[in-house]
């Protein structure tokens, strides 16, 4: 601990970025660079933990106080460095660009920046998130880190900084981004997980501790937290799309590899080059450095999880890799590397060669991060420190077991086993309320819920824009982002008023989707289930269902009445709900006190609450008295006339979708898949025209909704291509429905398009008596969706390793190199290719001695399998074309002629797999 304390810098108390030379008491290679990295925070906590140990051993309160204040100075030194870059925080909130990221290396003496954005990868979300977590932990221990309101505002903006980690590719904890070290950033599970933990820890926390004021509380967007949680769970157990985090793959005799093909500190790495050349990472395969610090991580993990066998196993492994200084004190090496002379032998037989200890992590060059972890592990295993003294806010416990924080602010908790979603029905007018009552549906008007106010969600955004505003630092507060379904399910106290917001789906819009009653009903069910599934804060969610008179005039309003009748029974498709008067539901609701608004003049807000519609005529007695909306058949127009029109005419002719609602649904797509991307163009499938552009936007919205409530529909789909999805819908509509000759897809109602989309995503190759689709048609649809079997890409990679000439598909070659160097697949494929490659991979795995001499031609192999299939049919039936093929189902070649392969593609998976296996052999 004395050695670690020597790393402190007198002025800012940042941690030196390089190992120390204790003979000269200077930094060995970069004497002026301070690194805001994990070692800084861990060192600070080590000092805090030694406070506990010293009190128990020698009761030296003076030394304990000094160590505590050293920790405060470290945290404040980091804070002051970042406050100088407040302009970057404001820019990053808007754009999430690496060029606006907070720096993570500063000058030790002055706190000035060291590296420009082009010289170092500063965008590391985990560093900022870790700072927020330690801020909460240290403040909970009684230390005072934050002094002024300006600093509180800055911390609130740091929360905005990390809230969008789920959609911000960064360079991660290893500072290199992609494993290929080519300067590209990527989404990292460690960064997102750290952001998620930080948001949970700091939500509703008072930065002044027990002496705090109402304006020193930090608020978190629970919808942003939910998106981080969602993508974090889908990324695991990988670190990113290019990095692995699986113990059995990374564990070695000297430590853990950071990730496969990691060249950092390898003897083959060129230290003078910042980035690698293309395909360079394959040179590091099987010779990656092994880091003993991961043994210490596993020790700490075992202590926290109560796994004594894991603790003992990794304690033994760690002891074997420690080195000793002249005094016999243990020192943790930074890494172990394969010497140059043994590289080829290690590649041939991984784990067979002796590794050398790194120069870093020795008596003269201390590896601070590793040494800090060693101290923590020793304190825990020796019983000098309890896990609760390390984790004061109990982050290691499940959220439902953490101690409840006192106060008036919402806090995250676990999933409630008996969660009930509270529903309040608000009628736009008394006339509508009276009419609803005739059907047994009790509603309230805005006047009846007073003094509670009903706000549109856009007005709540106005209020949140005041959170974190600081003119001295140039900070504008919360960006104008929409409030999601979770946020609108809270009850808010704003400037002495009680406020409840209705969901975004009830916002008035001229866009055509808002006039489809069946779609609105489906949206209501989706919102209810989303809130019920992802609610993680104390108190019950309370949702407003806003009923307008324009809904009542819709011919499908009776379906909404059926929904309300179902909700009255206390359930909605298995979800528990409770309909009641708002005044009766407030006591059990989640109430958020926006006390920061006490410093704002209410006249500045210009809030426009939802107003009750007043009529002189009392109203209708039943639905039969209500004038219906006029139904008319609009003739199909030829929209090609707009191809050469100026932009303003197109904008006049078509109304675009509400940006906020569209953005929220696209965010749902982005956070729901491990490597899922949203692609909205493919001119070969859907030519560029106005209608197709609108249909693609519409389909993207539905995908965003379905991917939240029914994620299993998108299993096996790596990329969502809207053009191909629309093509699949057209195929399904032509072959599986009875309305193929009635209306084209662009003339279908939005709810019908959504129904077709869900049906298409539900198609599988197994027999389904509910559909008229043949196996061939199902294969077509699956090919359009580009849905692949599990482990498909790993199997392709395995086949490529045994195929020097590459894989040929439709005349295009996927070469063995450089594909294997990058382990990526970019060649377009169709459904039968999935089955064939799956068969080939299985054969090669069962027979490792087999390999292809040249290339694997998919088309020729399929043709060979078909010839075998044809011979069997001819021997059994005389002719292979005895199948009765409907005209609209025939497979056609590029000249429009019936294709002879149709019977083969229409056969069952078991049949085709058998013939494909014979063709390969």
Residues 900-911 pLDDT 10s: 566 776 777 777
For residue 70, is it within any domain?
Answer: yes
Q: pLDDT band for position 346 (50/70/90)? A: very high
Percentage of the chain lying above the pLDDT 70 cut:
78
The least confident of 27-41, 638-652, 674-688, 831-845 is 674-688
Q: pLDDT band for position 893 (50/70/90)? A: very low
For residue 17, is it within any domain?
Answer: no
Residues 63 and 80 reside in one and the same domain? yes
Dist. CA 67–CA 60, nearest whole Å: 11
- In order, the DSSP letters of 427-447 are ESBHHHHHHHHTTT---B-TT
Residues 548 and 485 reside in one and the same domain? yes
pLDDT value at residue 901: 62
Dist. CA 300–CA 379, nearest whole Å: 10
| pTM recorded for the entire structure | 0.82
Last residue of a domain, one of 202, 217, 236: 236
The least confident of 410-419, 616-625, 745-754, 847-856 is 616-625
pLDDT at 564 over 80: yes
pLDDT value at residue 827: 35
The least confident of 219-228, 430-439, 666-675, 749-758 is 666-675
pLDDT value at residue 556: 84
**40 is written with which tokens?**
């800084």
Residues 266 and 227 reside in one and the same domain? no
pLDDT value at residue 79: 94
pLDDT value at residue 621: 52
pLDDT at 112 over 80: yes
Long-range CB pairs of 743-752, under 8 A, 24+ apart, other chains included: 744/636, 745/695, 746/636, 746/691, 746/695, 747/634, 747/636, 749/516, 749/518, 749/519, 750/512, 750/513, 750/516, 750/519, 750/698, 751/516, 751/518, 751/519, 751/522
- Greater model confidence, 713 or 863: 713
Q: pLDDT band for position 16 (50/70/90)? A: low
pLDDT value at residue 34: 64
Average pLDDT estimate for 732-754: 78
Q: Which residues pair with 568 in a beta bridge?
A: none
pLDDT digits over 240-295, tens only? 888 877 788 899 999 999 999 999 999 999 988 999 988 888 899 999 999 999 99
Strand bridging mode 807-809 / 812-814: antiparallel
Dist. CA 500–CA 284, nearest whole Å: 58
**248 is written with which tokens?**
């059995």
What is residue 905's three-state secondary structure? helix
Mean pLDDT highest for which of 80-94, 513-527, 806-820? Answer: 80-94
pLDDT value at residue 32: 60
Dist. CA 715–CA 699, nearest whole Å: 18
Q: Return the number of other C-beta atoms located less than 10 Å from residue 151's C-beta.
A: 19
**244 is written with which tokens?**
């692995």
pLDDT value at residue 898: 43
pLDDT digits over 768-797, tens only? 656 678 877 888 888 888 888 777 777 777
- Closest among 783, 869, 877 to 834, alpha carbons compared: 783
Dist. CA 256–CA 91, nearest whole Å: 38
Dist. CA 17–CA 321, nearest whole Å: 23
Dist. CA 717–CA 676, nearest whole Å: 7
Specify the number of domains making up the chain.
5
Those residues with Cβ within 8 angstroms of residue 361's Cβ, 6 or more apart along the chain or in another chain: 19, 323, 331, 332, 333, 334, 335, 367, 370, 371
- Closest among 857, 843, 837, 847 to 791, alpha carbons compared: 837
Cβ atoms of 703 and 677 within 8 Å: the answer is no
- In order, the DSSP letters of 214-237 are GGGB----HHHHHHHHHHHHHHTT
pLDDT digits over 633-649, tens only? 444 555 566 666 676 66
pLDDT at 895 over 50: no
Tally of residues, the chain: 921
Q: pLDDT band for position 136 (50/70/90)? A: very high
Residues 219 and 302 reside in one and the same domain? no
What is residue 752's three-state secondary structure? helix
Cβ atoms of 128 and 174 within 8 Å: the answer is no
Dist. CA 696–CA 702, nearest whole Å: 10
Cβ atoms of 281 and 263 within 8 Å: the answer is yes
- Closest among 867, 868, 859, 866 to 807, alpha carbons compared: 859
For residue 640, is it within any domain?
Answer: no
Residues 329 and 319 reside in one and the same domain? yes
Q: pLDDT band for position 468 (50/70/90)? A: very high
Residues 741 and 812 reside in one and the same domain? no
pLDDT value at residue 775: 79
Q: pLDDT band for position 38 (50/70/90)? A: very low
Task: List the alpha helices (DSSP H) in 58-83.
Answer: 61-83
Residue with tokens 């903006």: 157
pLDDT at 650 over 70: no
**729 is written with which tokens?**
């819908």
pLDDT value at residue 669: 60
What is residue 806's three-state secondary structure? coil
- Closest among 760, 758, 713 to 735, alpha carbons compared: 760
Dist. CA 610–CA 618, nearest whole Å: 21
Give the DSSP letter of residue 541: -
pLDDT at 36 over 90: no
For residue 801, is it within any domain?
Answer: yes
Average pLDDT estimate for 501-510: 81
For residue 578, is it within any domain?
Answer: yes
pLDDT value at residue 883: 37
Helix axes 690-709, 517-534, angle to 10 degrees: 40
Cα radius of gyration rounded to whole Å, the chain: 32
Q: Return the number of other C-beta atoms located less than 10 Å from residue 276's C-beta.
A: 20
pLDDT at 559 over 60: yes
- Greater model confidence, 532 or 14: 532
Give the DSSP letter of residue 543: E
Task: List the alpha helices (DSSP H) in 203-291.
Answer: 222-235, 247-250
Residue with tokens 């994620």: 711
For residue 120, is it within any domain?
Answer: yes
Is the dihedral angle over the CA atoms 12, 17, 19, 21 positive or is it negative? negative
Q: pLDDT band for position 862 (50/70/90)? A: confident
Burial of 875 (0-12, 13-18, 19+ CB in 10 A): exposed
Residue range(s) defining the domain that contains residue 476:
421-604
Average pLDDT estimate for 232-244: 85
Last residue of a domain, one of 205, 236, 267: 236
Q: pLDDT band for position 503 (50/70/90)? A: very high
Residues 781 and 729 reside in one and the same domain? yes
pLDDT at 850 over 70: yes
pLDDT at 713 over 60: yes
Dist. CA 534–CA 471, nearest whole Å: 36
Q: What is the dihedral of CA 351, 356, 357, 358, to 10 degrees?
A: -110
Dist. CA 118–CA 654, nearest whole Å: 43
Last residue of a domain, one of 787, 820, 838: 787
Those residues with Cβ within 8 angstroms of residue 843's Cβ, 6 or more apart along the chain or in another chain: 850, 917, 920, 921
Give the DSSP letter of residue 612: P
Cβ atoms of 335 and 290 within 8 Å: the answer is yes
Residues 476 and 515 reside in one and the same domain? yes
Residues 216 and 246 reside in one and the same domain? no
Give the DSSP letter of residue 285: T
Q: pLDDT band for position 130 (50/70/90)? A: very high
Q: pLDDT band for position 677 (50/70/90)? A: very low
pLDDT digits over 304-339, tens only? 999 999 999 999 999 999 999 888 899 999 999 999
The least confident of 348-352, 520-524, 868-872 is 868-872
Q: pLDDT band for position 603 (50/70/90)? A: confident
Provide the b/e sequence for 291-322 (b: ≥16 CB within 10 Å): bbbbbbbbbbebbbeeeeeebeebbebbeebb
Cβ atoms of 343 and 268 within 8 Å: the answer is yes
pLDDT value at residue 676: 43
Residues 482 and 526 reside in one and the same domain? yes
pLDDT value at residue 683: 47
pLDDT value at residue 801: 78
pLDDT value at residue 640: 61
Residues 102 and 127 reside in one and the same domain? yes
Distances 19 to 13, 333, 347, 440 between C-alpha atoms, Å? 16, 11, 30, 75
The least confident of 383-387, 533-537, 831-835 is 831-835
Note the Cα 519 to chain centre separation in Å: 27
Residues 766 and 797 reside in one and the same domain? no
pLDDT value at residue 45: 54
Strand bridging mode 856-857 / 807-809: parallel
The least confident of 56-60, 492-496, 812-816, 865-869 is 56-60
pLDDT value at residue 614: 82
Q: pLDDT band for position 488 (50/70/90)? A: very high
For residue 530, is it within any domain?
Answer: yes
Residue with tokens 């030829």: 638
- In order, the DSSP letters of 845-871 are HH-TT---SS-EEHHHHHHHHHHHHHH
- Residue 544 — φ and ψ, nearest 5°? -100, 130
pLDDT value at residue 679: 46
Cβ atoms of 844 and 799 within 8 Å: the answer is yes
Q: Return the number of other C-beta atoms located less than 10 Å from residue 154's C-beta.
A: 20
For residue 185, is it within any domain?
Answer: yes
- Greater model confidence, 813 or 533: 533
Note the Cα 721 to chain centre separation in Å: 19
Dist. CA 74–CA 134, nearest whole Å: 11
Strand bridging mode 20-21 / 453-455: unpaired
Helix axes 690-709, 722-736, angle to 10 degrees: 90
pLDDT value at residue 65: 79
């Amino acid at each position: 601990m004395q050695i670690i304390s020597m790393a402190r810098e007198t002025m800012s108390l940042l941690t030196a970025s390089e190992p120390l030379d204790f003979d000269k008491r200077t930094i060995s290679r970069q004497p002026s660079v301070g690194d805001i990295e994990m070692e800084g925070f861990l060192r600070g906590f080590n000092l805090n933990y030694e406070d506990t140990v010293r009190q128990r051993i020698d009761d030296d309160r003076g030394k304990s106080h000094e160590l505590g204040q050293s920790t405060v100075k470290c945290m404040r030194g980091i804070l002051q460095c970042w406050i100088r870059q407040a302009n970057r925080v404001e820019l990053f909130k808007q754009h999430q660009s690496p060029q606006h990221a907070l720096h993570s290396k500063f000058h030790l003496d002055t706190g000035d920046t060291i590296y420009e954005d082009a010289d170092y990868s500063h965008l590391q979300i985990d560093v900022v998130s870790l700072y927020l977590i330690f801020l909460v932990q240290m403040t909970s221990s009684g230390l005072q880190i934050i002094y002024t309101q300006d600093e509180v505002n800055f911390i609130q903006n740091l929360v905005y900084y990390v809230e969008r980690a789920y959609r911000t590719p960064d360079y991660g904890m290893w500072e290199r981004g992609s494993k290929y070290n080519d300067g590209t950033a990527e989404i990292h599970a460690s960064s997102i997980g750290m952001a998620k933990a930080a948001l949970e820890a700091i939500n509703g926390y008072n930065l002044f501790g027990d002496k705090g004021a109402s304006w020193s509380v930090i608020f978190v967007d629970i919808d942003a937290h939910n998106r981080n949680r969602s993508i974090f769970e889908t990324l695991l157990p990988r670190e990113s799309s290019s990095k692995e985090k699986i113990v059995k793959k990374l564990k070695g005799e000297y430590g853990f590899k950071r990730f496969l093909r990691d060249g950092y500190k390898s003897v083959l790495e060129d230290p003078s080059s910042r980035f690698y050349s293309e395909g360079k990472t394959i040179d590091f395969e099987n010779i990656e450095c092994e880091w003993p610090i991961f043994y210490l991580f596993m020790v700490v993990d075992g202590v926290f999880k109560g796994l004594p066998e894991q603790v003992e196993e990794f304690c033994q492994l760690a002891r074997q890799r420690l080195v000793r200084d002249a005094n016999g004190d243990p020192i943790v090496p930074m890494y172990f590397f394969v010497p140059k002379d043994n590289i080829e032998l290690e590649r041939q037989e991984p784990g067979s060669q002796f590794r050398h200890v790194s120069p870093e992590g020795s008596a003269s060059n201390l590896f601070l991060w590793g040494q800090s972890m060693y101290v923590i592990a020793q304190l825990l295993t020796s019983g000098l420190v309890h896990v609760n003294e390390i984790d004061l806010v109990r982050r290691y416990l499940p959220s439902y077991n953490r101690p409840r924080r006192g106060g008036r602010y919402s806090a995250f908790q676990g999933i409630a086993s008996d969660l009930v979603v509270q529903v309040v029905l608000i009628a736009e007018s008394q006339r509508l309320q009276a009419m609803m009552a005739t059907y047994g549906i009790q509603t309230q008007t805005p006047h009846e819920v007073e003094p509670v106010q009903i706000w549109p969600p856009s007005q709540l955004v106005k209020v949140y824009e005041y959170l974190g505003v600081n003119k001295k630092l140039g900070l504008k507060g919360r960006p104008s982002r929409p409030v999601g379904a979770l946020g609108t399910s809270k009850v808010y106290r704003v400037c002495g008023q009680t406020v409840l917001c209705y969901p975004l789906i009830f916002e008035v819009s001229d866009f055509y989707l808002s006039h489809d009653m069946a779609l609105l009903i489906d949206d209501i069910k989706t919102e209810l289930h989303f809130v019920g599934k992802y609610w993680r804060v104390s108190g019950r969610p309370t949702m407003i269902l806003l009923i307008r008179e324009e809904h009542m005039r819709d011919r499908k309003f009776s379906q909404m009445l059926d929904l309300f009748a179902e909700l009255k029974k206390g359930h909605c498709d298995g979800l528990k709900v409770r309909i009641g008067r708002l005044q009766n539901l407030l006591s059990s609701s989640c109430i958020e006190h926006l006390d920061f608004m006490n410093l704002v003049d209410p006249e500045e807000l210009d809030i426009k609450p939802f107003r009750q519609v007043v009529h002189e005529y009392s109203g209708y007695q039943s639905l039969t008295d209500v004038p219906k909306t006029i139904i008319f058949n609009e003739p199909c127009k030829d929209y090609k006339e707009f191809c050469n029109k100026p932009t303003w005419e197109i904008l006049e002719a078509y109304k675009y979708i509400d940006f906020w609602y569209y953005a929220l649904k696209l965010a749902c797509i982005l956070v729901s898949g491990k490597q899922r991307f949203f692609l909205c163009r493919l001119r070969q499938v859907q030519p560029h025209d106005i209608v197709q552009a609108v249909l693609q936007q519409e389909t993207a919205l539905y995908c965003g909704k379905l991917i939240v409530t029914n994620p299993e529909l998108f299993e096996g789909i790596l990329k969502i291509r809207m053009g191909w999805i629309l093509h699949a819908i057209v195929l399904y509509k032509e072959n599986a429905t009875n309305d193929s000759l009635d209306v084209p897809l662009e003339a279908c109602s939005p709810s019908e398009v959504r129904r077709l989309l869900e049906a298409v995503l539900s198609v599988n190759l197994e027999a389904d008596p509910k559909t008229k689709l043949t196996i061939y048609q199902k294969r077509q649809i699956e090919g359009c969706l580009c849905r692949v079997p599990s482990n498909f890409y790993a199997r392709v990679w395995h086949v490529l390793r045994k195929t020097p000439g590459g894989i040929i598909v439709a005349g295009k070659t996927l070469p063995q190199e450089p594909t294997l160097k990058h382990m990526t697949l970019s060649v377009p494929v169709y459904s039968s290719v999935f089955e064939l490659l799956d068969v080939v991979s299985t054969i090669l795995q069962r027979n490792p001695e087999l390999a292809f001499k040249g290339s694997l031609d998919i088309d020729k192999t399929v043709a060979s399998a078909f010839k075998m299939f044809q011979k069997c049919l001819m021997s059994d039936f005389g002719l292979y074309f005895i199948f009765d093929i409907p005209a609209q189902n025939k497979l056609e070649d590029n000249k429009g002629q019936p294709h002879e392969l149709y019977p083969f593609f229409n056969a069952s998976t078991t049949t085709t797999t058998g013939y494909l296996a014979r063709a390969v052999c």
